[in-house]
C-alpha cells in the first residue's frame, strides 16, 4: 500500500498538520543557514585495514568506506532523511555496495558492537541517524578523542565511535532489504519514504555532526538527499537537493 509522503514524515516526527503549520511561523533568516555542510568522510580503505576476519563476506579489493554526516549549527537537531514526490532520494554506486551478511544490518543502531571489533562488518553499508552500533554513535575520525574498540590496524587510535545511549531508527516507505543484499546492491531510491528518530537527534560532539549513512563500495558514489531539521525554538526546516518549493531550502551539497 502506498503511503502518502506527508503521512510518512509526520508519523516519523510525530507532528500534526496543524502543529507543523504553527512551527513554520517560527523560522528566521538565521535558521535558514543552520545547515553548515554535508561531510563525506573517507572512513577506511580495504587495503589499509590489515588482517581481519571476513566472516560474512570479504571486502572488494579497492573498496572505500564512506561516512556521510550532516553538519549543523549548535542547538539544531536532525529529524529525518527522506524522499518525496519532486524530491526523490537516491544513493547509488557505479559497481555494488558491500553488505556483510553475517554481522551487518540495515540500520546503524542494529550493528552489534561486539561483532565488529575485528570483522569486515565494521565496514558494512547501512543508513542511520546517529548510531554506528547498538552502543555507539558515529563521529568523524578527526573529532574522536576516546580511543578505539576496533582491533584493526588503521583504527588503533580512533574508530569514529562514541559510546552513548542510542536512539532507535524508525523508517517508513523504504524497502531496506537493499542493505542486506550481498550481490547486486547498486542503487537505492524512493520518493515516498523516510528514516528518522523520534524527537530528532543532535551530534555527539559540540560540532553537531550527525551520521546518516555508512557506505562501502569499490565504485563511484553518488547521492541526492533531503533532510528535515528542528530549530531551537521548535520550528522545522526542510533542505532539499534541488527544485525547492515554498518553505523548502535548496542545498547543493545534498547532491553528490
Residue whose grid cell is 554506528: 132
| Domain map (residue ranges) of the chain | 5-254
| Per-residue pLDDT tens digits for 212-223 | 999 999 999 999
Nearest-CA neighbor of 241 among 88, 29, 32? 88
Which comes out higher in pLDDT, residue 7 or 214?
A: 214
When the pLDDT of each residue in the chain is averaged and rounded to a whole number, the result is 91
Task: Quote the pLDDT of residue 27.
Answer: 80
Above 80 in pLDDT, residue 190? yes
Least confident segment among 25-34, 46-55, 175-184, 204-213: 25-34
Per-residue HEC secondary structure of 99-155 comes to CCCCCCCCEHHHCCCCCCCCEHHHHCCEECCCECCCCEEECCHHHCCCCCCCCCHHH
Above 50 in pLDDT, residue 253? yes
Assigned C-alpha cell, 29: 533568516
Above 80 in pLDDT, residue 120? yes
- pTM to 2 decimals? 0.92
Which comes out higher in pLDDT, residue 50 or 13?
A: 50
Task: Quote the pLDDT of residue 26.
Answer: 67
Which comes out higher in pLDDT, residue 247 or 194?
A: 194
Give the Å distances, CA to CA, from 243 to 29, 80, 86, 239, 255: 20, 19, 8, 10, 12
Amino acid at each position: 500500500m502506498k503511503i502518502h509522503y506527508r503521512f510518512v514524515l509526520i508519523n516519523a516526527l510525530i507532528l500534526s498538520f496543524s502543529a507543523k503549520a504553527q512551527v513554520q511561523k517560527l523560522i528566521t533568516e538565521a535558521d535558514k543557514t543552520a545547515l553548515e555542510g554535508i561531510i563525506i568522510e573517507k572512513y577506511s580503505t580495504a587495503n589499509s585495514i590489515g588482517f581481519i576476519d571476513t566472516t560474512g563476506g570479504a571486502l572488494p579489493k579497492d573498496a572505500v568506506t564512506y561516512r556521510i554526516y550532516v553538519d549543523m549549527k549548535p542547538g539544531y537537531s536532525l529529524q529525518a532523511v527522506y524522499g518525496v514526490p519532486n524530491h526523490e532520494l537516491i544513493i547509488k554506486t557505479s559497481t555494488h555496495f558491500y553488505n556483510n551478511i553475517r554481522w551487518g544490518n540495515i540500520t546503524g543502531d542494529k550493528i552489534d558492537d561486539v561483532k565488529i571489533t575485528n570483522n569486515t562488518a565494521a565496514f558494512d553499508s547501512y543508513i542511520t541517524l546517529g548510531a554506528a552500533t547498538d552502543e555507539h554513535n558515529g563521529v568523524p575520525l578527526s573529532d574522536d578523542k576516546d580511543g578505539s574498540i576496533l582491533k584493526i590496524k588503521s583504527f588503533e587510535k580512533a574508530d569514529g565511535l562514541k559510546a552513548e545511549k542510542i536512539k532507535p531508527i524508525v523508517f517508513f516507505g523504504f524497502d531496506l532489504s537493499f542493505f542486506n543484499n550481498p550481490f547486486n546492491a547498486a542503487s537505492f531510491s524512493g520518493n515516498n519514504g523516510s528514516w528518522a528518530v523520534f524527537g530528532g537527534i543532535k551530534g555527539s560532539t559540540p560540532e553537531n555532526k550527525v551520521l546518516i549513512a555508512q557506505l562501502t563500495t569499490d565504485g563511484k558514489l553518488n547521492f541526492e538527499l533531503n533532510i528535515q531539521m528542528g530549530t531551537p525554538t521548535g520550528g522545522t526546516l526542510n533542505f532539499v537537493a534541488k527544485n525547492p518549493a515554498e518553505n523548502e531550502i535548496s542545498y547543493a551539497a545534498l547532491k553528490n
